[in-house]
Amino acid sequence: MIYNECILFHGLTYTELKMLDTFAEQKKIAAGKYLFDQNSPSDNVYNVISGSVTVERISSNGRRQIIGILYPGDFLGITNSDHYDYAVRSLTDAELYQFNRKRLYGLAKEVPHLKANIDQISSTIFARILDHLYILGQKKAHERLCFLFIQLLERQPGATPERIDLIVSRQDMADYLGLTIETVSRSLAKLKNDGVIAIPSLNHLNILDLDAVKELADT
């Protein structure tokens, strides 16, 4: 059990942690690979240790919606269904902890603290999805981008307003925000012209006017 700061483990006894450990596995995945596909059986719950992954849904006609961008500490695969209704792809080389779902849920029945932690995680995910839903329904392109910036700033390790590493491609931004890549490009240009942000290099974002970004992103 090398990753102990995880919310899943809060308040558990040493014995309980040891039991978790019996069905936890460490998993590595290369950048751009899929951890699992949409509709595959929901055998495991994962916890991101390092790197970054996206949760995405692809429809029969090829349109893709990115549902979430996950960082170390984040969970995925928590569901009551017997299959995932999304796929998970790595943005970077990534390491994850993999827990057998059935056994994790079984243990959670015995250990109230563990169950409470899982519920807390679900609740956080739900709140994020609601924000995202609102953004997609009501916001214009440049506002959606600001929403993304705030997400990156708040959640990406090491991010500061002065420097945020854009590990997502323009296409990923588009798929996360329900836009096309060209609209993303143009909206970035607009925000640059307005002096709200700067993009010193392709994959570096500098938020010049944080208040403006927050205002535009506001849910």
Taking each helix axis as running N to C, give the angle between helix 101-110 and helix 14-22, from 0 to 180 degrees, rounded to the nearest 10: 160
Segment 66 to 95, residues that bind a copy of itself, using CB under 8 A? 67, 79-81, 85-86
| Count of all residues that appear for the chain in the document | 219
User: Residue 153: enclosing H or E segment and its boundaries?
Assistant: helix 141-155
Name the minimum Å distance from CB 55 to a copy of itself.
10
By CB under 8 A, residue 182 contacts a copy of itself: no
User: Residue 2: enclosing H or E segment and its boundaries?
Assistant: none
By CB under 8 A, residue 134 contacts a copy of itself: yes
132: partner contacted, choices a copy of itself, DNA, none (Cβ within 5-8 A by kind): a copy of itself
By CB under 7 A, residue 92 contacts DNA: no
* Residue with smaller CB distance to DNA, 116 or 198: 198
Please enumerate in sequence order all residues whose Cβ is within 8 A of that of 15, keeping only pairs 6 or more positions apart, or say none: none
CB 205 within 8 A of CB 149: yes
Taking each helix axis as running N to C, give the angle between helix 141-155 and helix 112-138, from 0 to 180 degrees, rounded to the nearest 10: 150
The residue type of 218 is D
CB 78 within 8 A of CB 37: no
Interface segment toward DNA; rule CB under 7 A; list 38-46, 73-81, 172-180, 207-215? 172-180
81: partner contacted, choices a copy of itself, DNA, none (Cβ within 5-8 A by kind): a copy of itself
Q: Which of 13, 138, 171, 203 contacts a copy of itself by CB under 8 A?
A: 138
Q: Rounded distance, CA 24 to CA 45, Å?
A: 10
Q: Which of 171, 200, 215, 218 contacts DNA by CB under 7 A?
A: 171
**Chain contacts with a copy of itself (rule: CB under 8 A):** 57, 59-61, 63-65, 67, 79-81, 85-86, 109, 112, 115, 119-120, 122-123, 126-127, 129-130, 132-134, 136-138, 175, 177-178, 218-219
